[in-house]
Amino acid sequence: MQQVALAPFTVVGRLVIGVCTIVGALSLFVGRTLLACFTPRWHGGQIARQVVSIGFLSLPVVGLTAIFTGAALALNIYTGGGRFNAEQIVPQIVALGITRELAPVLVALMLSGRVATTIAAEIGAMRATEQIDAMRTLSTDPFRFLVAPRVLAGVATLPVLTGVADILGIGGGWLVSSLSLGFNPEAYARSTVAFLEAWDIQSGLIKAAAFGFIVTAMGAFHGYRATGGARGVGHAATQAMVWSGVLIFATDYLMTSWFTQT
Amino acid sequence: MRDNWIEPLVGAVVLIAAGVFLTYLLVAGDARPAPDGYSVTARFGQVGGLREGDDVRVAGVKVGRVERIALQPDTYLAVTYLEIAPQARLPRDSTARVTSDGLLGGTHVAIEPGADTAMLKAGGEIENTQGAVDLFGLIGQFINRPATAGEPAT
Amino acid sequence: MTPAAPELEWRGIRKILGGRTVLDGLDLSLAAGRSLVILGGSGQGKSVALKLALGLMRPDAGTVLFRGRSLPGLFNRRQSDLYRQSGVLFQGSALFDSLRIWEVVSFRLLHADNRPRARAREAAIEALAQVQLGPEVADLFPSELSGGMQKRVGLARAIIGAPRILFFDEPTTGLDPVTAASISRLIADQVTRLGCTAVTITHDLVSARTIADDIALLDGGRIAWQGGRADLDTVTDHRVRSMVEASLPTR
């Protein structure tokens, strides 16, 4: 009887304790990761492997995403601009939208699907088969060997991937505008270059670096905490992707509002 | 794990495509002016939407760019520093106007050459200037003009 | 003559897992150069005792001592010393899936000791030879090997640094009797060759007879019986007796 009466309190209490526990665990994890990233020793071979795996091998998906997004955006801005008799604004708005927002966010989301899940599954499977314990007994810190290389690679390669997405996104807009919307290709290119400011591109790249940290850290965090065999590993992968996605959007909003303050 | 050769190939294709388009953008957009141009100044009462990096044109052809815009503290005039290509020699009595291609952009400095035989030298100043026209101010004046007898109210 | 401090010692260890008191007052010491086998039924806490010694878990009470000094030590220093001087064979072999066999075996040399790759590979091939695996497996991946071969690779990885102390977590579990016997034999040979201290966790008595100098029975969260290998046949403790009898061939 007493327990039924207390039920709402216990539910809330359990929820709050649960949230505090996981926030605490995440903070400790991030702290250890940062320590492993910024203090020697580093495992260069592992970092290089991860840069290739996260960076280079993500190029196909990034390229496709960027081109189609730029093209679709150009079509939409053309329609919208048409309502003000201002179709000629397509190059500028496409460039702005891509560099400031769409390239960093969409690349990060594509990678949260591809990279966060992979990292969570790899590390989770290693945890489940005692490979992480084995590594520690071989005098190698799993944070320096497994986690830090992935996080460093993420922070380093996401801006590069976003840069590629910037170019190809603008390219997609240029292509559809030149082929279907009657724009002069060189005029489009000139309008784009004249309009873009360095900060448009730079702010997008800074966002990308933050997103790179989020995607890889979430993958590593959930993988490291995975329990219970195959099911646990799958659960970790899903959690990694969901948390990445949510944090990307939240961080994007915070950074955008900070960048656009006048 | 080199088990798959198609992924690196597509990745390389993507990088090459990006590199090619970037080059095109920079060339077609001609991002950098001639490095050995000469600098002149022009002072305007109003620069409107003119920004650093905008074109300087003669007869519609780009001959330079706006390097810097600054406010002169004692006269409250806007001083523009224009970087002009060495091939474009401008007579000393040329006129500089702030104008634009359309409503939404393309603001640039248009220089109409004068008749003087002496040419502007580096560091010289274009004396005759016409500032940007405040288009919306004009429209506002027209719309808000009090109706006079015989004219339909707007 | 004062006796040297034991190589490894569990002192007053208590550990509670999931509400259950798995270890309750574990006191056990191991002299240098001796091979200890810890016997016990399933779920008796043998693996936990091993993990505590390896610093993969922390006790709720009591200490583990390595060469007379308590783990983990300031900034984990003593734990790091233990890692550098030990080799571990895990129950599932715990080989690194994404690396080649020679990279797995020489992992410590490559990543902790920064040896050049060519030297590490040579050392790996030597270690593989010690466990009767030829150099042709060196470039394979762990998933391409059978369970028994993976165990051998795990053993090679454990012995490659000529460690001072070896840990074996259920080395024969899940293996067929022939393979189990050969693994036990290999373990015994390597321990003798290296002259190191060894701790083995198992419930396989046949394996224990091959490997052990000393035997301890873990029951009810503490050591219930200790003796030498030869004592197994004359022991009066009923729990040990039933294990011995269960291991004998039935007609």
Name the minimum distance, in Å, from the CA of A134 to any CA of chain C: 7
Q: Do A57 and B29 touch (CB under 8 A)?
A: no
Question: How far away is chain A from the Cα of C76, in angstroms, using its nearest Cα?
Answer: 12
Check if C54 contacts A (Cβ < 8 Å).
yes
Alpha-carbon gap: B153 to the closest alpha carbon of chain A (Å): 25
Are B25 and A92 inside 8 Å of each other by CB?
no
- Whether A171 sits inside 8 A of B31 (CB atoms) is no
The shortest C-alpha distance from A176 to chain B (Å) reads 14
The domain ranges of chain C are: 1-85+163-251, 96-162
- At residue A139, what are phi and psi to the nearest 5 degrees? 60, 30
Domains in chain A, number: 1
Answer yes or no: is pLDDT of A226 > 80: yes
CB-nearest to C108 from A43, A126, A138 is: A138
Please tell me whether residue C117 adopts helix, strand or coil conformation.
Answer: helix
User: How does pLDDT run across C155-178, given as a tens digit for each residue?
Assistant: 999 999 889 999 999 999 888 888
* pTM to 2 decimal places: 0.79
pLDDT band at A164 (very low <50, low <70, confident <90, very high): very high
Residues in A closer than 8 angstroms to C94, CB to CB, are 129-131, 133-134
Measured between CB atoms, does C151 come within 8 Å of chain A? no
Pick among A49, A164, A195 to test the B interface (most B CBs inside 10 A): A164
Which residues lie below 8 Å from residue B6, measured CB to CB, with a gap of 6+?
none
Domain range enclosing A108: 40-259
How far, in Å, CA of C73 to CA of A86, rounded? Answer: 72
Q: How many CB atoms lie within 10 A of CB C2?
A: 4
Residue A9 lies in a domain: no
Candidates C86, B58, B151; CA nearest to A137 is C86
Per-residue pLDDT tens listing for chain B (154 residues): 455 788 788 888 999 999 999 988 888 766 555 567 888 999 998 888 787 778 888 998 888 888 888 998 898 999 999 988 888 888 989 999 998 876 666 788 999 998 888 888 888 888 888 888 877 778 888 888 766 554 555 4
Torsion of CA A216, A218, A223, A224, to 10 degrees: 100
C73 pLDDT band, cuts 50/70/90, is: confident
Write out chain B residues lying below 8 Å of A193, CB-based. 25-26, 28-31
Q: Does A186 contact B15 at a Cβ distance shorter than 8 Å?
A: no
Enumerate the β-bridge partners of residue B58: B61, B111
What integer pLDDT is reported at residue B31 of this predicted model?
A: 52
Cβ distance A131 to C94 less than 8 Å, yes or no, reads yes
Average pLDDT over residues C54-62: 89
How far is the alpha carbon of A60 from chain B, nearest alpha carbon, in Å?
Answer: 5
Give the Cα separation of A239 and A236 in Å (integer). 5
Which tokens sit at C147? Answer: 């369970």
pLDDT tens readout for residues A30-51: 999 999 999 988 898 899 999 9
* Among the ranges given (A44-53, A245-254, C223-232), the one the predictor scored with the smallest mean pLDDT: C223-232
A74 touches A170 (CB < 8 A): no
For A63, nearest residue in chain B (alpha carbons): B14
Contact list, A118 vs chain B (CB under 8 Å): none
- Neighbouring subunits of A (3+ Cβ pairs under 8 A): B, C
Chain A contact for C95 (CB, 8 A cutoff): yes
Distance CA A176, CA A72 (A): 8
Taking residue C164's Cβ as centre, other Cβ atoms within 10 Å add up to 20
Whether residues A137 and C54 touch (CB distance < 8 A) is answered with: yes
- Residue C83: pLDDT above 90? yes
Kindly state whether A8 is in contact with chain B, defined as any CB-CB distance less than 8 angstroms.
no
Q: B29 by DSSP, 3-state: which? A: coil
Interface mutation vs chain C, best among A122, A123, A137, most C CBs within 10 Å: A137
Q: Do C92 and A135 touch (CB under 8 A)?
A: no
Considering only CB atoms, which chain A residues are within 8 Å of C51? 133
**Percentage, residues of chain C above pLDDT 90:** 39
β-bridge mates for residue B39, sequence order? B83
Q: Tell me, yes or no, whether A240 lies in a domain.
A: yes
A136: chain C residues, CB-CB within 8 Å: 55-56, 83
- A-B CB pairs within 8 A amount to 67
Task: Note the pLDDT of residue B61.
Answer: 87
pLDDT in tens, A91-124: 999 999 999 999 999 999 999 999 999 999 999 9
The CATH number of the domain covering residues in C1-85+163-251: 3.40.50.300
Distance from CA of B21 to the nearest CA of A (A): 7
Q: Is C183 left (phi over 0), alpha (psi -120 to 50) or beta?
A: alpha
Confidence at residue B35, expressed as pLDDT on a 0 to 100 scale: 65
Distance CA C12, CA C1 (A): 26
Q: Do C90 and A130 touch (CB under 8 A)?
A: yes
Name the residue ranges covered by the structural domains of chain B. Answer: 1-31, 38-141
Tell me which chain C residues have a C-beta less than 8 angstroms from the C-beta of A43.
111
Contact C94 A140 (CB under 8 A): no
- Chain C within 8 Å of A140 (Cβ-Cβ)? yes
Task: Look at phi and psi of residue B114 and say left if phi exceeds 0, alpha if psi is from -120 to 50, else beta.
Answer: beta
Name which of C56, C96, C97 is nearest A136 (Cβ-Cβ).
C56
- Per cent of chain C over pLDDT 70 is 98
Q: Which chains touch C (3 or more CB pairs under 8 A)?
A: A
* Cβ separation B105–A92 shorter than 8 A: yes
Instruction: Say what the pLDDT of residue B1 is.
Output: 43
